[in-house]
A = this chain, B = another copy of it.
């Protein structure tokens, strides 16, 4: 069979493999292949083929007849130099797609089915629309608890696992949706100062204005090689690293590429995604934070309880010691939304600054207290007071500084964005509500999390009385276009509800 010469095409198609073939390709009568068909790309030495979706090209400067163009991520995945001859075949649909069709037809799938699906996803055999079909099939009411367990196990097995050789490895996770909720950066130094091991790996923001990794990066290096992370944890009992390098439950990272634009966040997928990452990261004890509020992810107490029970069911069977707390999710936590502004809030709390946001401090103490009680020597109800003592005494700050030094302090910490717009109260009243979704959206439009200094700085919170013209919050941005997007969004809906006093 004849070959095509590899050619990199400098297009970033995010997580979808795309291959480009010229319409008049002189090796294959390219019409036998159709646009959006999937093809298998075979190396000469007959290793595992790589799968890509085909786009047809009519411009020889992009991909000429006789060449096979590959988008950046598939070119990297194949790992062969330009010009290498490869063979191309029609891809057969992934074998596990049959199980997806059975799921769509309402069937409960087996452990083997989920292992097959996740393996095909990790090997990039699924197209985006096939992943969407799988996710929607699992979003249905017919997704049973044991299926969530099978899926979680399959996701853990799909990647690597960290091993800490400790009897108690603590972790915490918030299901998300509340801007400014940066408690992790307070909880980790408090818990580590007490002596509990807490090697925290966090994600970067996907749909939010900042993830813990984005915010920690304002202060220190977060992209740590595994050996360095182990060394830091051995010395400091903790770290605050980005989990992206450590191939933990990689299927989840691939599925997110579809969940994000679809705004899919079904309970089963959420539980499998969170718990698989935690188990793979080597955690033994886990605290889950479910914020509840009218603009939070979870909006009724009943829904929060159902989710809690699903976490408990799967967590118990994965041998995790798991506690779930339902917290106040009626408004953003703290003042800053966006990496630099949130890092400022965190440091103010650690320094016991009188200007520090008290709601962030209180929430962090409550959650840290619950994690401290994972220690058998801590009496029930005493965790909060121990945590407060660690914070007030400056031991938490000292631990944070040690972690920052160990990871590598950022020599040039970024500043808040220099383009500033004040958003003011349109009339006298009292702040009755702040819309989490709208504030997150304004902060993202302003450029967060990629522009570290971009975001929103809240001046008034729920319950505060305001006068007409008084500042409710400030938008920070670094780039004029983003600044305009954020200001336009705030002009349409400022996210605040005022009530007559």
Contacts and interface: CB of A to CB of B under 8 A. Distances in A.
Interface of A: 1-2, 9-16, 20, 23, 27-29, 31-32, 34-38, 55-59, 61-62, 71-72, 89-90, 93, 97, 101, 104-106, 127-133, 135-137, 139-141, 257-258, 261-264, 445, 447, 450-451, 478-479, 481-482, 484-485
A29 B445 CA distance: 12
Contact of A450 (B9, B31, B37): B31
Contacts of A93: 263
B28 A481 contact: yes
A445 B89 CA distance: 11
Given A61-B61, A93-B263, A11 B55 contact: yes
A27 B481 contact: yes
B140 A32 contact: no
Contacts of A133: 132, 135-136, 262, 264
Given A32-B481, A104-B136, A136-B136, A261 B38 contact: yes
Contacts of A485: 32, 89-90
Contact of A101 (B36, B263, B450): B263
List of 6 A-B pairs having minimum Cβ-Cβ separation, nearest first: A10-B59, A14-B35, A10-B58, A132-B132, A29-B479, A136-B136
Contacts of A58: 10-12, 72
Contact of A11 (B20, B29, B90, B141): B20
A16 B482 CA distance: 27
Given A55-B11, A481-B32, A37 B261 contact: yes
Given A129-B128, A130-B262, A141-B106, A57 B11 contact: yes
8 contacts: A1-B484, A10-B59, A14-B55, A38-B261, A104-B139, A106-B140, A128-B129, A133-B264
A261 B91 CA distance: 11
A28 B127 CA distance: 30
B10 A36 contact: no
Contact of A29 (B32, B61, B263, B447): B447
A36 B27 CA distance: 31
Contact of A59 (B9, B34, B135, B445): B9
Contacts of A127: 261
Contacts of A71: 55
Contacts of A12: 23, 35, 55-58
Nearest to A206: B34
Nearest to A139: B104
A34 B2 CA distance: 38
